């Protein structure tokens, strides 16, 4: 059984997480400079989040179909990653996290996500998602 009871719940948590990232001026400046947009495709339950310097869009219909980087993973994998229980290289190497887009850009993106890792446990807990 998934950590998330519905796609709406997952979209709320992950949408909030990236909204937090967009409060980081350094992240936004860098994302703008790099032309960075990220599409997160989560499964089990399904939800999609589109992130660009302009903001966060949640939901399959609302989100643009093309992004510089697309990440695909299950909601449980995403939860484990953000909680720090699953390491990024392991998630990638084992195929639990799949990425399409310029790899060089992805590698630059990962260190920029540090604030999200720090904030995720609280965001998840606030939405009733267990550790």
Partner 1 sequence: MNTALSEFQSESVSESVSLSGLNFDVLPPEVQRFRDTARAFAQDVVKPRVQHLDQAPAAHFDWQLVAQGHQIGLTRAAVPKEYGGAGVGMLGVAVALEEVAAVCPGTALIFGATLLGQAPILLSGDPRLQSRFLPLFSGDEPVLACNAVTEEDAGCDLIIPSLAQHAQNVTTARRDGDHYVLTGRKRFITNAKFAAFASVFANMEGSPGATGLTSFIVPLDLPGVVRGPVADKMGYRACLGSELEFHDVRVPAEYMIGSEGEGMAINMAQSNMARAAVAGISTGVARSALEQAIAWCGERVQGGQHLRHHQFTAAKLAAMTTKVDAARMLYLRAADKVDNELPPPVYEPAVAKLFADRAAIDVADAALSLIGARGYLRSYGVEKMMRDALGTRIYEGTPEVLALAITDSLYAEKEEW
- Using an 8 Å Cβ cutoff, are 116 and 18 in contact? yes
64 lies in the binding site for partner 1 (CB under 8 A) = no
**Token output for 80:** 């484990």
CA distance 50 to 70: 9
34 lies in the binding site for partner 1 (CB under 8 A) = yes
130 lies in the binding site for partner 1 (CB under 8 A) = no
In angstroms, give the least distance from the CB of 69 to partner 1: 10
Whole-angstrom CA distances from 3 to 9, 32, 33, 109 are 10, 33, 35, 26
CA distance 118 to 27: 15
- Using an 8 Å Cβ cutoff, are 75 and 3 in contact? yes
**Token output for 108:** 């630059």
- Of 5 and 102, nearer to partner 1 (C-beta) is 102
How many residues contact partner 1, by CB under 8 A? Answer: 30
103 lies in the binding site for partner 1 (CB under 8 A) = yes
105 lies in the binding site for partner 1 (CB under 8 A) = yes
95 lies in the binding site for partner 1 (CB under 8 A) = yes
- Interface residues with partner 1 (CB under 8 A) are 34-35, 41, 68, 70, 72, 86-90, 92-95, 97-108, 110-111, 114
């Amino acid at each position: 059984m998934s950590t998330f009871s519905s796609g709406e719940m997952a979209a709320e948590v992950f949408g909030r997480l990236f909204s937090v990232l967009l409060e980081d001026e350094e992240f936004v400046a860098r994302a703008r400079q790099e032309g960075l947009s990220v599409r997160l495709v989560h499964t089990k339950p399904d939800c999609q989040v589109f992130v660009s310097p302009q903001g966060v869009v949640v939901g399959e219909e609302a989100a643009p179909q093309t992004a510089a980087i697309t990440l695909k993973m299950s909601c449980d994998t995403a939860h484990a990653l953000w909680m720090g229980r699953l390491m990024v290289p392991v998630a990638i190497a084992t195929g639990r996290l799949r990425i399409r887009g310029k790899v060089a850009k992805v590698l630059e993106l990962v260190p920029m996500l540090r604030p999200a890792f720090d904030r995720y446990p609280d965001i998840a807990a606030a939405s009733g998602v267990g550790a």
